[in-house]
Structure 1
Amino acid sequence: MDLQNAARRRFGRGARPRSHYQRYDQLSLGSFVFDHILSQLSSFIFCQKSQSNGIVLFALSRSPLYYEQLLKSKGFDVVTSSTWFKILDCYTDPLGWRSKLLESGSIRNLSSGSSLTVNICKNVKDLDELFSSILELGKELSGDGKGRFTVAIDSVSSLLRHTSVSSVAALLSNLRSHDQVSSLFWLLHLDMHETRATAALEYMSSMKATIEPIVQSVDGPRGNSENLSLMEQNLRRGKFCVRVKRRNGRVRMMFEELSVEKSGIKFTPLSSEDETTAQSLVPKVQFNLQLSEKEKNDRQKLFFLLSTR
C-alpha cells in the first residue's frame, strides 16, 4: 500500500487527443510526477514504513547522476543509499557503443558519474539479461533473500524504441509475478505509441494515472501565439487522473489538479462540478472471476502505470 500512498491514492480515467504543444507539456509533467512518486516511496522505505526493503530503478531516460541529485535534494544521504536504492543504468551506454569506443581507446571512461550503486547495461535489447540484472540488484537489497523490493522504470517509451511491445509486456509480466517484487511502477508517454500497444501495457496495471492539461489549446488565427502562453501554464499545472482496479472487479476513479511549485508538487481537489462530471463517466461494472491461488497472490501486489498524453 506504500506505493498507493506515494501516488496519493488518486483515481481517474484517460484523456482526449491533444495538440503537439500539450504533448510536450504533459511529457514534462509526467517526469515531475514520476520523481514525486519515487521520492515519496523512497521516504517510506528509508523510514521503514514500507513493505519493500528497497528500490531498483530501471533508468532509461535520465542519468544516474540526475537521480543522485534528486535524492540529495530530498535530504537523503547518497553514501548510505546503497542499502536501499540501486540503479540499473540503461542510459549511459544502452547499446554498448561507448564500451566499444572504450576498448578502442577513443574514450577513457564509461562511468555514469554518480556515486550511487549503479550497474551499467550495455544491451537494452536483451530483456532476459535485464530481467536477471533487476533481480540480482533486488536480491542485494533483500539481504537474506526473503525481503521484497520495488521496481521503478522511468520510461517504458524509451524501452519500446529498442524492442517490441510483446517483449516489454513479457518483461513486466515476469516482474509482477516474481515473489520478491512487492510493487512495480513505470512511466509511459501515450502519444508516442499506437493504441493497441498502450492497451497491452495498461491491461496488466492495477492502477493507471493519466496527466491531462488543465487549459486546452486554441484553434484558429490566434491559436499559435495563444498556445505558447497555454504551454507555459500547462508546464506547471495539470489534471491528475488515476484509475484503480479493485479486487471485487469494480473500477474506482478520482480527479485532482496538480501544480509544480518550488517546494515540489501540490495536489488540490477539482471543483465539485468537475468531480460530478468525472464520476458520471465511471463505468459501474463488476466481474465475478474465479482466480487461482497464484493469481490471488499476484492481485495483492500493486502495478502502477503513470502515463501522459
Structure 2
Amino acid sequence: MAETICRALRDGALEGEHAPALTIKDTLSIPFGFHAFTHFLCNLSSNILSAKSQSQCLVLVTFSKSPSFYYDLLKSKGIDVQMTKNWLRILDCYSDPLGWKDGGSVDLVPNEIEKICKNVRDLDKLLSSILELGKGVVGQGKSRFSVAVDSVSGMLRHASVSSVANLISNLRSHGQISCVFWLIHSDLHEGRATAVLEYMSSVVASLEPIVAIGEKGSSENIFSLEQNSGKGKFNVRIKRRNGRVKAMSEEFHVERSGIKFMVISSGNGVVNKTLVPKVQFNLQLSDKELADRENVVLPFEHQGNGKDVEIYDGRRSLSVGQYDLGTPVMTTEKLHTKTDQGKGEIHYLRDSDDEHPDSDEDPDDDLDI
C-alpha cells in the first residue's frame, strides 16, 4: 500500500483533473506519522532527481522542523544535497513564524533554496510564496511541481479550518501542481478539521496501534504496547475517479534507518474484514442453482423451435396461413388441444391499423388476458 502511494505521488495529476492529495494522520498513541511523511518525501525526491516523476521540483513547507534537518535527512538517504538547488525549494515557517525576530513578511536567505515566512497567519501570502518558489524552478509553462507540508497541525494553530482548506483547494486546482501531501496529528484537533482534510484528499493514510488502548486488561495491555512499540497498522483509503473507495491495510515497523512496511501476517491474528454487508439472506448460489439459472429462457431470446421466428408488431394484419385476428376468442380456444389446457395466453390487438407502433396510447388498454 505504501508503494501504491509512492506511485500516485510520482505519476502526479492527469490533464484537466485536480492534483492527487495525500493526508497522513497519526495520534499520540501511535506518533509515527512523521516517519511515514519523510518516507514519501524521500521517495518522491529520489524520483524527481532521477527524472522519473511528473513533477520537476518539490516545494517543502516546514512547520515542525528546520530546513537543516531535511538536508541531513536527504543526505542520509544518499541524495546529493549539492544538487538540491536544481529541484528543491523550502518555505521556512519554522524559524520565525510570527516575525518576532525581525520585521517583514518573507525573507530570502542567501542560499536561494530557502525562503523564510514571518507571518504564517496570512495564508494568501503563503500560497503566493509557494507558487512563486515552484515557478522559479519549472517556469510558467506546463511543467509541474509538488508541494509537501510537514505539519498541517502547525498551520491550524494560526489559521482557521476554512482558510487552510481553501489553501489546499487552490493548490490542488492549480495547473502546475503535480501532487500535494501533508501530515496532521488528528487528536490535536476537532473531528471536523480532520474530516475536512480527509474529504479533500484522494488518499488517506492513517496510523493505528496494533493493540488498541483499553482493548485488553490494564497490565496485559501495557505489556502488549511495550512489545509492539515501534509497530502499528498502516490503513490506506484510496478514492477512485469513478467514485469507488478502496481500503487496504498493512503493518509498519519503525527502525533506526526509517520506517518499513510489510504485508499483514495471519499469525498476528489480523485478518482483512470483508466489505460485504451482513444480511439475513444468502447471496451465494449453489452449483445446481447456477445451472438452473443458465437454462432460464429470457423474454428477449426469441425461440424458433425449428420454425421461422415471427415478431408481431401489434398490427391487425393477416399473414400467409394465419387466421383472422379479428375472429372471436372462442374460435381460437377451440383450436387448443388437451395438452394446451391449463395454459394462459395474452392476445394483444390494437384499436386500429393506422396507429403507429410508437403511439403515446397506453398499450395496456388493449390487453385481453
TM-score by length of 2: 0.63
Counterpart-to-counterpart distance in 2, 1:264 and 1:72: 14
Pair 1:265-2:245 in alignment:
no
Q: Which residue of 2 aligns with 1:105?
A: none
Counterpart-to-counterpart distance in 1, 2:9 and 2:229: 20
Residue from 206, 210, 216 that aligns with 2:206: 210
SS at match of 2:235: strand
Point out 4+ residue stretches in structure 1 off by more than 4 angstroms.
6-9, 218-223, 229-235
Counterpart-to-counterpart distance in 1, 2:138 and 2:166: 24
Pair 1:167-2:180 in alignment:
no
Counterpart-to-counterpart distance in 1, 2:120 and 2:191: 24
Counterpart-to-counterpart distance in 2, 1:3 and 1:150: 14
Residue from 236, 243, 247 that aligns with 2:230: 236
Task: Confirm or deny: 8 A CA contact 1:55 1:84 kept in the other structure.
Answer: yes
Task: Give, in angstroms, the shift of residue 205 of structure 1.
Answer: 0.5
SS at match of 1:49: coil
Counterpart-to-counterpart distance in 1, 2:55 and 2:231: 31
Task: Compare the two structures and name the one with the higher helix fraction.
Answer: 1
Residue from 122, 141, 162 that aligns with 2:118: 122
Q: Which residue of 2 aligns with 1:18?
A: none
Q: Which runs of 5+ in 2 are unaligned?
A: 12-23, 279-369
Counterpart-to-counterpart distance in 1, 2:168 and 2:277: 27
Matches within 5 A, 1:35-50: 35-50=38-53
Q: Which runs of 5+ in 1 are unaligned?
A: 16-21, 103-109, 284-309
Quick check: 40-49 or 232-241, which moved more? 232-241
Q: Which has the larger radius of gyration?
A: 2
Pair 1:90-2:85 in alignment:
no
Distance 1:70 1:6, change over 3 A: farther
Residue from 5, 15, 20 that aligns with 2:7: 5
Q: Which residue of 2 aligns with 1:26?
A: 30
Task: Confirm or deny: 8 A CA contact 1:217 1:230 kept in the other structure.
Answer: no
Q: Which residue of 2 aligns with 1:295?
A: none
Counterpart-to-counterpart distance in 2, 1:63 and 1:281: 47
Distance 1:222 1:213, change over 3 A: closer
Residue identity (%) = 52
Counterpart-to-counterpart distance in 2, 1:44 and 1:8: 7
Task: Confirm or deny: 8 A CA contact 1:89 1:120 kept in the other structure.
Answer: yes
Task: Confirm or deny: 8 A CA contact 2:6 2:44 kept in the other structure.
Answer: no
Task: Confirm or deny: 8 A CA contact 2:145 2:178 kept in the other structure.
Answer: yes
Counterpart-to-counterpart distance in 2, 1:245 and 1:282: 20
Task: Give, in angstroms, the shift of residue 198 of structure 1.
Answer: 1.2
Counterpart-to-counterpart distance in 2, 1:257 and 1:191: 21
Query: Which string of whole-angstrom CA distances, capped at 9 and with x for unpartnered residues, describes residues 198-222 of structure 1?
Result: 1111111111000000133358995
SS at match of 1:87: strand
Distance 1:26 1:239, change over 3 A: same
Residue from 127, 137, 140 that aligns with 1:141: 137
Amino acid in structure 2 at the alignment position of 1:270: I
Residue from 61, 74, 79 that aligns with 1:76: 79
Task: Confirm or deny: 8 A CA contact 2:142 2:175 kept in the other structure.
Answer: no
Distance 1:70 1:235, change over 3 A: farther
Query: Which string of whole-angstrom CA distances, capped at 9 and with x for unpartnered residues, describes residues 25-55 of structure 1?
Result: 422x100000000000111111110000011
Matches within 5 A, 1:276-287: 276-277=272-273, 279-280=274-275
Query: Which string of whole-angstrom CA distances, capped at 9 and with x for unpartnered residues, describes residues 160-189 of structure 1?
Result: 000100000000000000000011001111
Amino acid in structure 1 at the alignment position of 2:7: N
Distance 1:89 1:146, change over 3 A: same
Amino acid in structure 2 at the alignment position of 1:96: G
Task: Confirm or deny: 8 A CA contact 1:176 1:184 kept in the other structure.
Answer: yes
Quick check: 137-146 or 64-73, which moved more? 137-146
Alignment: residue pair count: 260
Distance 1:2 1:55, change over 3 A: farther
Task: Confirm or deny: 8 A CA contact 1:58 1:151 kept in the other structure.
Answer: yes
Q: Which residue of 1 aligns with 2:61?
A: 58
Amino acid in structure 1 at the alignment position of 2:208: E
Counterpart-to-counterpart distance in 1, 2:7 and 2:173: 22
Quick check: 264-273 or 252-261, which moved more? 264-273
Counterpart-to-counterpart distance in 1, 2:225 and 2:139: 47
Pair 1:185-2:181 in alignment:
yes
Task: Give, in angstroms, the shift of residue 270 of structure 1.
Answer: 1.1
Task: Confirm or deny: 8 A CA contact 1:2 1:41 kept in the other structure.
Answer: no
